[in-house]
Structure 1
Amino acid sequence: MLTQWTPTLTTPSFTPVMPAAQRFMQFRYPLPYGALLQDGGVQFVVYSRSATAMRVLLYKRVTDREPYRVVDFNRVTDRWGDIWSLFVPDLEAGALYHFQADGPYAPERGHRFNRNARLIDPYARALAGQFQASEDGVIRPPKCVVIDDNFDWQGDRHLRRPLSESVIYEMHVRGFTKGASSEVEHPGTYLGVIEKIPYLQSLGVTAVELMPIHEFPTNGVFGSKLERPNYWGYDSLAFFSPHRGYQQGHEAGDQVRQFKEMVRALHAAGIEVILDVVFNHTAEGNHLGPTLSFKGLENRVYYMLNGDGTYKNYSGCGNTVNGNHPICREMIFHCLRHWVYNYHIDGFRFDLASILSRNRNGELVPNPPMVELIAEDPMLADTKIIAEAWDAAGAFQVGNFADKRWAEWNGHYRDDVRRFWRGDQGMIGPMATRLSGSSDLYQSSGRHPYHSINFITSHDGYTLNDLVSYEHKHNQANGEDNRDGENNNNGANYGVEGPTRRKHIVELRRRQAKNMMASLLLSEGTPMIVAGDEVLRTQRGNNNAYCQDNATSWFDWNLVEKNAEMLRFTQAIIGFRKAQPNVRRPSFLTGQAPHEGQIPDVSWYGPEGQGVNWSSPQKSLVCVLGTAGLDDPSARYIMLMLHAGGDSQDFTVPAAVRRLPWRLFVDTAADAPGDVYPGVNGPAVPAGGRVKLVHHSLRCYVA
């Protein structure tokens, strides 16, 4: 058996010649780049077209400032086209390294090589340590770690839950358990999430969408403490590496094992894992930013550049990844496969995904190669792919980002539902469209209601509690003089900005929170809830808490008891949604009945029980969902009465459905436990079919 391979036997993308058993071991790694663990050593593979020399710097300890060994790539025998490939014997899993490249420094031509720079491997499987203090001007970034991806998955596989049956819970790994109120053994970590799985199960969500867990800086590039820490994590250093800041302990590379344990435990509980991925920019910033990885290997390939060598900035973060360059396409493609294959990830939400629709000149193009590649890749066939279909340069592609496979964060849903419940004029039509699954956006492209990821709040913006408590953002703590964050939030405070003890305002705010939560969970489409909204978590009016790694952003577990009423309300409607196919239809509603005398799949009425005048200034609407088109015997008739006006309003059950045995399920104006009847066994509709709704309230009846 071979114990050592010589560089002359290797190629950049293929395995060296070796016995069959050894070939099998190599092929378990589907990636052609990075530090590939082999019998007897490690194969280092890196791309650079313009480098004139390449080195691997090897370290013994995470805290070492200087390498104990430097290994040069031979420009003749270790280079295959633009791929540099070198086998280093006697290295094992846990080995620490950087790359270093020589080449031209000519920013006006797109080159930013720096022979002294220690470079993070773009394909590094893990990082360890921090940026170290520097007195010589050399940036010393976290070390790359050679990883053995062997792991006992105990039979775990992807859950493959249909998107139409999903309830997504957006959460931050650290913030979910970091606060002292979490009372977990491993706060702020992947393992801490495992400890809170019973809570997620009790809530009823089917998937967690994790804010970025790819590696990002946690201190300054010269070892200094960041004035505004990067809490959200939208500042990638290494796309293939789970963030070391969320691991328990400091063993180099152990975050890989801990992350896999978290995924395995969530899957065992029936909960899928979706990653928020940031393939639109990196932590290297603009022309004034540091050289940490991509800039020092092939700057003009990895980034979109202007003619003078400065950076196009469609991300709002200084640079833009050149996602439709073949080299970048290949990297993103391998990265997604890496997370699906090695981590059993169930789906991805693509941050500022419209950047992936831009060609190498930054122009939006139809059928962009990267978007199509993701949709068509066979290894991703069972995964959920979700686009944030806009970017920071004005692209807004909600409804036309792509077709077939791609779901989208539906920004129109967020805005229209907020405006309806705030009481804006002319919103009954838009509200009806959003409740129905947004056919105006998705039907013409051959997609389905579940391709609309419905949300009212997300990490970016107000929490649900703050949406009904503040009319203006309060971001002074971010240190940007309140200039950051969205100005148009469609929120309201109902008389007092921020916290108040005025009973009528407190009651109205709680009612409005329930109105929006019920609307979200009873709409056609796929709902997404932000962690903490189910217990009315507040950020005290901060709508851009990207740098608030503190109680402002952390989940306050005291609220689980304090706001148990809201939690029970949310749990009950999630449970109803999961049991009721009528609010998660795979096809768009038609307003038609297949047979004469049947109730249509959807009917719309005004509060008096007659047909809707869609141009009316009224703020009330009745929606009746029939069972037409559903073969499931568990399907039930549903009647929603929505009233966003400032005065009470009488409603009449429409004559066409008055004979049905309606029972109250939800009444957002009632005190608990009368606000929701989990068994759908609330009071019957009064004789005559007339009910009165107080201002800003919702009722749902089921038959």
Structure 2
Amino acid sequence: MRNWKFNHIDFSTYPGYEGKDLGVFWSPEKTTIKIWAPTAKMVELRLYKDGVRGEAYHKTNLQKKEKGIWDTVLTGDYEGKFYTFKVNDGEWLEEVPGIYARCVGANGLRGMIYNPNTTNPENWVYDNGPRYKSFTEAVIYETHVRDFSIAKNSGIENKGKFLGFTEEGTRSPEGVKTGIDHLKELGITHVHLLPVNDFVTVDEEKPLEKYNWGYDPMHYNALEGSYATDAYDGRKRIVEFKELVKALHASGIGVILDVVFNHTYYAKESVFNQIVPGYFYRQKEDGSFSNASGCGNEVASEREMVRKYIIDTLKYWVEEFHVDGFRFDLMGIHDIKTMQEIRKSLNKIDHGLFLYGEGWAADQSPMPESKRAVKRNTSAMRKIASFNDDFRDALKGNHGDKKSKGFVSGLGLREEAIKFGITAAIHHPQVNYGYIETVQSAWAAEPDQCINYVSCHDNYTLWDKLKQSLPKVSNEELQKRVKLAGALVLTSQGVPLLHAGVDFCRTKGGNGNSYKSPDSVNQIDWSRKNEFIDVFEYFQKLIQLRKNHPAFRMTTADSIRRDLNFCTEYQVGVVSYCLDGKSVGDSWSKIFLIFNGNKVEVEIPLPEGNYSVVADAISINEEGMEIVEQSVRVDPVSLKILVQAENG
């Protein structure tokens, strides 16, 4: 019986390979096949006519070459045929499509030989996403392919599919815009998609029987078939995902992919372990799989061919699918050098690709934290951002405790943590880090390294969290708090990320971990947009406010330290500050923001001059709603944004 402990192996002795030709590549005359399997004694290729069933109609052995490479050439046209590899390293391993499979049949059981030129939509060569001078100009909307369109009231025909993002003119029964028209109406700049690469837990032959977010990877270079209209023909999912990208790009919206390189769903049975046992995973001292992911294993990003694989995969998604960035799940498991090399490699293709991730792990790792891409090491990874969970928890309370409260739910003494988010987690002389429970110091070097958010797919939606921590509060009062949280996220420095549907009070019925809950829990209920249309319009105006005014999206830490000043005396439950708009080229020379999380009204003295109120808890009007001087009253659970009047 195979020993799945690896403490007797020094993986650093395995040969590396620098070539760009690993995988299966079709041409009309021949198909070339090359895999890296340094421990193999024999590698067998099997060909099939079907992607799921039937016996192999042809078997052949690959030839061993230098640097752990095995290859062969199939003469003739093999387009549409399916394949697997079977490795013998002293005993036979399981049959798999290989780690570089780019096109697969149903449930990823077999790879598919295909002509990539047949997968390009019309005018694909001209497709490209939006690019910005600074990532702080982005407003990201995080969603799940199935959630986005599966509800009966979505008005979308291709429910739960990639093509659901391509349909224009869709409406809910109440007549509000849904789908891609909603995204354009809201004004976001990027859609962040939960994993779209091939994952395990949804049966692609019966896609509606199970639900999953997709953080259970099987193949990293192939797309998930349950999101395609035909899971059996691997080319369909490629074509339809490209149509999704093209439709969003045509609407001026970038596409960011959630990538899960930190672990695989299977450990012993994974594609990696069936080609090169043990190499792709970290081990404990006893040789067993370590588990910083909390999912049974963790990928050894620091090893040469693992790092190469990750970089090759990311480059493939950029070059083949024109995606605009990546979000790294549990980025804190990856080593810093790999993240730096990813940035360096992708810069050679496009400096405008946005990279960010979760700066933490789920459990202990044998790799010391000082070498990993955790939040505290963000400053060592320029042009890579981390999620600001310190700001998230300060806004609404601890993510795991449904009864805990934060600033927008009326908890005092969270002001310094709110200031930490407002200043994009960079060092600011007016932030007292000793009063922030979750951090000891700033962790971002520049504002484009900080993702500010109040909710995402994980944990409770903002609405559900507020409802559970404030069970006696009316819906009208909860809406005010949602608006206050949205205003804080969208006017703060850094990069704002919104959970899809937060703009109309999305609920999952109080479910705090819906990763495999049914569509009835996870689907976006588009009727809520009509029910909470005032909240939607408020978020819409906040996004436009941010776009119109560079003072809310400064591009350097020096600008924030110089031009953002906490200019009033401290009050419990109140955060207020001044922005020097003129210094950063804003049409507003002086901006004054006040956020009141208290249950009572507060009166705040104003700097000298007359001020025009452009935003409060109910509405936003850049033309101004009233003129005030000397002081301003701010309602409970509310805000005021004021601009120095021209005659002030």
Using structure 2 for the length normalisation, give the TM-score.
Answer: 0.84
- CA distance in 1: counterparts of 2:155 and 2:299, whole angstroms: 40
- CA distance in 2: counterparts of 1:298 and 1:385, whole angstroms: 29
Residue 264 of structure 2 aligns to a residue whose secondary structure is: coil
- CA distance in 1: counterparts of 2:560 and 2:279, whole angstroms: 51
- Give the counterpart of 1:205 among 152, 167, 188: 188
Aligned pairs (5 A) from 1:473-622: 492-495=469-472, 505-588=474-557, 601-605=563-567, 611-613=568-570, 618-622=572-576
- Give the counterpart of 2:419 among 401, 411, 432: 432
- CA distance in 2: counterparts of 1:512 and 1:177, whole angstroms: 27
Q: Is the 8 A contact 2:425 2:442 kept in 1?
A: no
Q: For residue 311 of structure 1, what is the amino acid of its counterpart?
A: F
CA RMSD of aligned residues (A): 2.6
Q: Call closer, same or farther: CA 1:266–1:443 in 2, change over 3 Å.
A: farther
Structure 1 residue 445: Cα displacement: 7.6
- Say how many residue pairs are matched: 582
Structure 2 match to 1:641: 594
Structure 1 residue 231: Cα displacement: 1.0
Structure 1 residue 591: Cα displacement: 8.0
Q: Is the 8 A contact 1:403 1:447 kept in 2?
A: no
Q: Call closer, same or farther: CA 1:340–1:679 in 2, change over 3 Å.
A: same
Residue 468 of structure 1 aligns to a residue whose secondary structure is: helix
Structure 1 match to 2:614: 665
Residue 127 of structure 1 aligns to a residue whose secondary structure is: coil
Structure 2 match to 1:376: 344
Residue 215 in 1 paired to residue 198 in 2? yes
Q: Deviations over 1:586-622 (max 9, x none)?
A: 12366887xxxxxxx23324xxxxx424xx6x21232
- CA distance in 1: counterparts of 2:390 and 2:549, whole angstroms: 25
- CA distance in 2: counterparts of 1:442 and 1:527, whole angstroms: 23
- CA distance in 1: counterparts of 2:340 and 2:58, whole angstroms: 43
Q: Is the 8 A contact 1:206 1:272 kept in 2?
A: yes
Structure 2 match to 1:90: 76
Q: For residue 102 of structure 2, what is the amino acid of its counterpart?
A: R
Q: For residue 159 of structure 1, what is the amino acid of its counterpart?
A: P
- CA distance in 2: counterparts of 1:445 and 1:31, whole angstroms: 36
Q: For residue 600 of structure 2, what is the amino acid of its counterpart?
A: D
Structure 1 residue 454: Cα displacement: 0.4
- Give the counterpart of 1:676 among 619, 623, 636: 619
Q: Call closer, same or farther: CA 1:103–1:589 in 2, change over 3 Å.
A: closer
Structure 2 match to 1:486: none
Aligned pairs (5 A) from 1:25-36: 31-36=20-25
Q: Is the 8 A contact 1:239 1:335 kept in 2?
A: yes
Q: Deviations over 1:427-463 (max 9, x none)?
A: 2222223212222399988832122110110111111
- CA distance in 2: counterparts of 1:648 and 1:120, whole angstroms: 64
Q: Call closer, same or farther: CA 1:549–1:680 in 2, change over 3 Å.
A: farther
Residue 79 in 1 paired to residue 65 in 2? yes
Residue 655 of structure 1 aligns to a residue whose secondary structure is: strand
Structure 1 match to 2:97: 120
Residue 481 of structure 2 aligns to a residue whose secondary structure is: helix
Structure 1 residue 273: Cα displacement: 0.7
Structure 1 residue 382: Cα displacement: 2.7
- CA distance in 2: counterparts of 1:101 and 1:585, whole angstroms: 54
- CA distance in 2: counterparts of 1:89 and 1:414, whole angstroms: 57
Residue 450 in 1 paired to residue 448 in 2? yes
Structure 1 match to 2:325: 347
Structure 2 match to 1:631: 585
Mind listing any 5+ residue stretches in structure 1 that lack a counterpart? 1-11, 15-29, 106-112, 131-140, 358-367, 471-491, 496-503, 594-600, 606-610, 669-674
Structure 1 residue 507: Cα displacement: 1.9
Residue 274 of structure 2 aligns to a residue whose secondary structure is: helix
Structure 1 residue 101: Cα displacement: 1.0
- CA distance in 1: counterparts of 2:561 and 2:180, whole angstroms: 42
Structure 1 residue 280: Cα displacement: 0.6
Structure 1 residue 494: Cα displacement: 4.2
Aligned pairs (5 A) from 1:94-109: 94-104=80-90
- CA distance in 2: counterparts of 1:681 and 1:65, whole angstroms: 71
- CA distance in 2: counterparts of 1:572 and 1:226, whole angstroms: 37
Structure 2 match to 1:362: none
Q: Call closer, same or farther: CA 1:63–1:431 in 2, change over 3 Å.
A: closer
Q: Is the 8 A contact 1:54 1:99 kept in 2?
A: yes
Structure 1 match to 2:165: 193
- CA distance in 2: counterparts of 1:512 and 1:267, whole angstroms: 33
- CA distance in 2: counterparts of 1:530 and 1:695, whole angstroms: 25
Structure 1 residue 303: Cα displacement: 1.2
Q: Is the 8 A contact 1:581 1:635 kept in 2?
A: no
Q: Call closer, same or farther: CA 1:415–1:376 in 2, change over 3 Å.
A: same
Q: Deviations over 1:337-356 (max 9, x none)?
A: 10111111111111111111
Residue 80 of structure 1 aligns to a residue whose secondary structure is: coil
Structure 1 residue 493: Cα displacement: 2.0
Structure 1 residue 39: Cα displacement: 3.7
Q: Is the 8 A contact 1:408 1:452 kept in 2?
A: yes
- Give the counterpart of 1:40 among 29, 37, 47: 29
Residue 551 of structure 1 aligns to a residue whose secondary structure is: helix
- CA distance in 2: counterparts of 1:32 and 1:284, whole angstroms: 26
Q: Call closer, same or farther: CA 1:346–1:66 in 2, change over 3 Å.
A: same
Residue 319 of structure 1 aligns to a residue whose secondary structure is: coil
Q: For residue 647 of structure 1, what is the amino acid of its counterpart?
A: V
Residue 459 in 1 paired to residue 425 in 2? no
Residue 231 of structure 1 aligns to a residue whose secondary structure is: coil
Residue 684 of structure 1 aligns to a residue whose secondary structure is: strand
Q: Is the 8 A contact 1:126 1:242 kept in 2?
A: yes
Residue 295 in 1 paired to residue 273 in 2? yes
* Identical amino acids, percent of aligned pairs: 26
Q: Is the 8 A contact 1:59 1:96 kept in 2?
A: yes
- CA distance in 1: counterparts of 2:206 and 2:444, whole angstroms: 51
Larger radius of gyration between Structure 1 and Structure 2: 1
Q: For residue 412 of structure 2, what is the amino acid of its counterpart?
A: Q
Structure 1 residue 203: Cα displacement: 0.5
Q: Deviations over 1:453-491 (max 9, x none)?
A: 101101111112112111xxxxxxxxxxxxxxxxxxxxx
Residue 629 of structure 1 aligns to a residue whose secondary structure is: helix
Q: Call closer, same or farther: CA 1:426–1:245 in 2, change over 3 Å.
A: same
- CA distance in 1: counterparts of 2:195 and 2:295, whole angstroms: 15
Structure 2 match to 1:248: 229
- Give the counterpart of 1:258 among 216, 240, 261: 240
Structure 1 residue 386: Cα displacement: 0.6
